[in-house]
């Protein structure tokens, strides 16, 4: 009798470990699927999920406080013509492209991340191939590939720009997994906050309008204005 009880207990314990491993693999699956966004990769371990309910725009998702990223204005100006051209071709806001390039590569056309992202728009190899980019270090190809991805994401997420930006970083699969909310990965939430801050610093206007009861949940720190001497 004692032996049978021990055998049953051992079987249940083994099953519970298998179930736990299955849960862990399922949780990580959206971070290791091919054709992710610009910077997430299989070596990015996601944080444990926290409830994040969105009600249009940002809803109740809390983004971290960030400073608008700095950038070399002369280097940025050297890409104005090219970014404007690509923005017209794909019917995108050129300042959105500027904001993403600022956060992704700082206008370095040969930037490469340890995870394999390359170029101005920091395209992962699968994403580059998916959108017809054969040389991610070529500024025009990189911008066009990133712009095609953004247009796809805008259509996929019905113009919800917070989800578009989040998906550019983590992949549309990750955003979909969390029921079309910003995934609970610290990297992705910081990325969204930085792009929004960069856009607002450039234009003086927020990219995403928030409702009065949710605006206080978005923490974006802009640098003090530069006063004329």
Question: Active-site positions?
Answer: 104
Between the alpha carbon of residue 62 and those of residues 65, 214, 219, the distances in Å are 9, 9, 8
Torsion sign, CA atoms 41, 44, 45, 50? negative
Whether residue 24 contacts residue 158, with contact meaning beta carbons closer than 8 Å, is answered with no
Whether residue 78 contacts residue 136, with contact meaning beta carbons closer than 8 Å, is answered with no
Q: Which of 157, 155, 164, 188 is nearest to 30 (CA)?
A: 188
Bridge partners, residue 220, by sequence:
66
């Amino acid at each position: 009798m004692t032996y049978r009880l021990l055998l049953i207990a051992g079987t249940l314990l083994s099953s519970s470990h298998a179930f736990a491993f299955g849960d862990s693999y399922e949780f990580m699956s959206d971070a290791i699927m091919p054709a992710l966004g610009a910077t997430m990769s299989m070596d990015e371990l996601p944080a444990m999920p926290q409830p994040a309910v969105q009600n249009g725009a940002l809803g109740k998702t809390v983004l971290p406080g960030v400073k608008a990223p700095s950038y070399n204005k002369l280097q940025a100006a050297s890409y104005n013509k090219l970014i404007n051209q690509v923005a017209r071709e794909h019917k995108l806001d050129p300042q959105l492209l500027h904001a993403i390039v600022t956060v992704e590569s700082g206008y370095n056309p040969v930037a490469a991340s340890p995870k394999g992202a390359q170029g101005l728009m920091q395209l992962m190899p699968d994403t580059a191939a998916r959108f017809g980019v054969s040389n991610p270090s070529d500024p025009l190809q990189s911008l066009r590939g990133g712009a095609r991805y953004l247009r796809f994401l805008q259509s996929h997420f019905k113009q919800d720009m917070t989800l578009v930006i989040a998906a550019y970083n983590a992949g549309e699969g990750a955003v979909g997994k969390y029921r079309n909310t910003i995934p609970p990965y610290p990297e992705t939430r910081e990325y969204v906050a930085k792009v929004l801050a960069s856009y607002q610093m450039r234009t003086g206007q927020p990219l995403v309008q928030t409702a009065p009861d949710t605006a206080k949940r978005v923490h974006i720190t802009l640098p003090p204005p530069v006063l004329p001497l």
